[in-house]
């Protein structure tokens, strides 16, 4: 990935608005535009964006984490990233966290059902502490049983703690470019919503770190 492209990726991942982004450029290179930057200037900007919380992704292996526990743990870790609870969404950060917390190596909890389930439940409990309501009852509508809805609702409350919850669906539809009355979002669309809300949460966190 070229350095200028990485700058744009970092800005998007951090959810930086125009002023915050240009302030970062100013701090890094004394300019408020990324046009025509040298290699050294690009590196200085990436370093500043990394200080603000950007984590350049390592080259993907294409394998991910195998098995049901690996996939569930990945999804929950990315949910925590979008909730602003962790700064690094990579599998390497997830694996390091699990090893630190449990002493389990990757092969152990991916292969052992009891240990894998314990890891997933620990991550779900962390999400719950971040405001995710996993509870469902007999009268809970189908859309509210989707993890995407549950996580997005928690994100929205973090973003708008004093706003009328009735505005939640309007913000969801605005992200998806849909109109009221259409079918509730699919799992794939909830991922789009979670990523969008996550960028805003991370942008706010980056502003706080830069202040």
pLDDT in tens, 38-51: 888 888 888 888 87
Let me know whether 107 and 146 are in one domain.
Answer: no
Model pLDDT, residue 191 = 92
Measured CA distances, 153 to 11, 74, 86, 117, 197 (Å): 24, 20, 18, 25, 10
Share of the chain above pLDDT 90, in %: 38
Which residues of the chain carry a pLDDT beneath 70?
1-2, 57-64, 211
- The pTM (predicted TM-score) of the whole model is 0.73
Dihedral of the alpha carbons of 67, 97, 189, 16, in degrees to the nearest 10: -150
Q: Of 84, 101, 121, which Cα lies nearest the Cα of 200?
A: 84
Residue ranges making up the domain that contains 25: 3-51
Q: Which residues contact 203 (CB under 8 A, 6 or more apart)?
A: 14, 15, 16, 17, 20
Model pLDDT, residue 65 = 76
Let me know whether 81 and 119 are in one domain.
Answer: yes
Three-class secondary structure of residue 133 per DSSP: coil
The total domain count for the chain is: 3
Residue 59 falls inside a structural domain: no
């Amino acid at each position: 990935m070229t350095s200028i492209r990485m700058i744009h990726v970092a800005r998007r991942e951090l959810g930086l608005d125009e002023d915050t982004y240009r302030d970062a450029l100013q701090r890094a290179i004394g300019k408020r535009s990324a046009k025509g930057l040298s290699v050294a200037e690009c590196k200085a900007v990436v370093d500043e964006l990394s200080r603000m919380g950007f984590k350049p992704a390592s080259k993907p292996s294409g394998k991910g984490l195998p098995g049901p526990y690996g996939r569930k743990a990945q999804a929950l870790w990315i949910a925590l990233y979008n909730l602003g609870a962790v700064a690094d969404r990579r599998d390497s950060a997830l694996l390091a966290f699990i090893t630190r917390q449990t002493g389990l190596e990757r092969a152990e909890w991916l292969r052992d059902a009891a240990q894998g389930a314990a890891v997933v439940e620990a991550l779900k409990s962390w999400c719950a502490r971040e405001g995710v309501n996993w509870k469902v009852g007999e009268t809970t509508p189908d859309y509210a049983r989707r993890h995407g809805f549950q996580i997005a609702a928690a994100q929205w409350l973090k973003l708008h703690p004093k706003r009328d919850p009735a505005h939640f669906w309007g913000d969801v539809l605005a992200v998806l470019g849909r109109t009221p009355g259409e079918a509730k979002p699919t799992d794939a669309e909830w991922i789009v919503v979670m990523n969008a809300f996550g960028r805003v949460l991370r942008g706010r966190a980056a502003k706080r770190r830069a202040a």
